[in-house]
Amino acid sequence: MKDLYQGQRSMRNMRRQAMQRGVIAVLDIGTSKIACLVLQFDGPGQFRETDGVGPMAGQSNFRVVGTAHTRSRGMRCGEIQTMAETERAIRTVIQQAQKDAGVRVDHVIACISGARPASYGLAGEVSLEAGKVAQYDVARVLGACEVPEFGRGREVLHAQPVNFAVDGRSGLSDPRDHSGEKLAVDMHVLTIDGDAAGNLVHCIRRCDMELAGVASASYASGLAALVEDEQELGAACIDLGSGTTGVSVFIKKHMIFADAVRFGGDLITQDIAKGLRVSYAQAERLKTLHGGVEATGRDDREMIDLGGDTGDWETDRRQVSRSDLIGIMRPRVEEILENVAEILEAAGFDFMPSRQVVLTGGGSQIPGLDVLAARMLGHNVRIGRPLRIQGLPHTATAPGFSSAIGLSLLTAHPQDEWWDFEMPAEAYPAGSIRRAYRWFKNNW
């Protein structure tokens, strides 16, 4: 875990460099769409309270100067399948975003949606010698967490301290200077497949960009789509993407669980293409223009031209009723939501105080989805659009951009991770020069 610690710390340094330069790119590599936002950090003080502009949820210190999105290539289930194709898609979108912004971008923060995420809740406990929690003790208790066997080739993507407890006083977000005998921590660790993450890093390196951070896409879309109260009281964000359906559960403004279903809207399109024997592009068009999940009597009479460009007149002039289309789409949507419900059940979502479910992502734009999801997942369901951030063009405010927008919010205000704390001294390898340096520093 030491390599990871160093790797993540070096990414934090990259992020700091990017902040000094003031320009950073945010890259959301999805299965069907790649989005890139170029953020400019002007620092705080751009608006004053007297101007009637509040802190704007802490995101008034940056603005979007360039936006680009293009069709993704070589991706499958949120993972990179063909490296060269994905690299080209990344090049395309970054060049477009740079052109839009008019500045050169060297640092990028990316998010990864697939790669089989797995959540772990870790607990650690240390006794306090000083009778008081010091900065050093926080790092020590984080290092004292029992690490389960993640499995071969897994890498830690997030390791966030969620809750601190001092002598049974639980629910502390900052335990420093508390008096007590014992300090305990609950940590949420999200691991992903190491090879998939390595592929992503490699692709970004090939585009001459420095990687300043990696985040989980379901976490990022949760940040963008959930309002502050929902994050505080407990909510689940379901990001209906095209290749994956991400699920993230938030409480007390911390993510406590994240997972992803390995299929999404792409599968619906494939079903339509197979069921109606149309091309994939045509099926996508039918889905977005006429799709739905709740059939009414009127939909029986509403005939849809299938269209097409096969060259066969009879084939191209076929018509289906909208009910037929809904009949194809609905079982697949139900299947996705069933999987989501399973995940939520596994996460213990039923025992949360507030069981708000927020649907976001491109798939959440299917008409009637909220009714179906309310029936399958619980009552408190709403369709979440991402937060408005400064300088974002209107074309990029759709639910499909929620993970990109959440990633830019995360860039502006990064969550404390394990690697943000100084590693305890005993974790350094014995005989290290740094240890000697510390000893000298402490004793002289």
Report 237-276 residues binding another protein (CB under 8 A). Answer: none
Select the span of 90-98, 212-220, 303-311, 336-344 touching another protein (CB under 8 A).
90-98
Site membership for another protein, residue 89 (CB under 8 A): yes
Does residue number 67 form part of the binding site for another protein (CB under 8 A)? no
Q: From the list 91, 182, 285, 435, which residue makes contact with another protein (rule: CB under 8 A)?
A: 91
Is position 208 an interface residue for another protein (rule: CB under 8 A)? yes
Q: Which is nearer to another protein, 88 or 116 (CB)?
A: 88
CA 111 – CA 406 distance, rounded (Å): 10
Distances, alpha carbon 333 to alpha carbons 18, 77, 340, in Å? 41, 16, 11
Site for another protein in 94-123 (CB under 8 A): 94-95, 98-99, 102-104
What is the smallest separation between the CB atom of 84 and another protein, expressed in angstroms? 10
- Is 207 a binding residue for another protein by CB under 8 A? The answer is yes
- 88 binds another protein, rule: CB under 8 A: yes
Q: How much is the CA Rg of the chain, to the nearest whole Å?
A: 24
Q: How far is the CB of 34 from another protein (least distance, A)?
A: 11
Nearest approach in angstroms of CB 281 to another protein is 13
C-beta separation of 28 from 67 below 8 A: no
Q: Closest distance between another protein and the C-beta of residue 382, in Å?
A: 37
| CB nearer to another protein: pick between 24 and 423 | 24
Nearer to another protein, 229 or 309 (CB): 309
Task: Name the one residue in this structure whose structure tokens are 């071969």.
Answer: 152
**Smallest distance, another protein to C-beta of residue 395, A:** 18
Binding another protein (rule: CB under 8 A), the pick from 10, 46, 92, 323 is 92
Residues in contact with another protein by the rule CB under 8 A: 70, 73, 88-89, 91-92, 94-95, 98-99, 102-104, 207-208
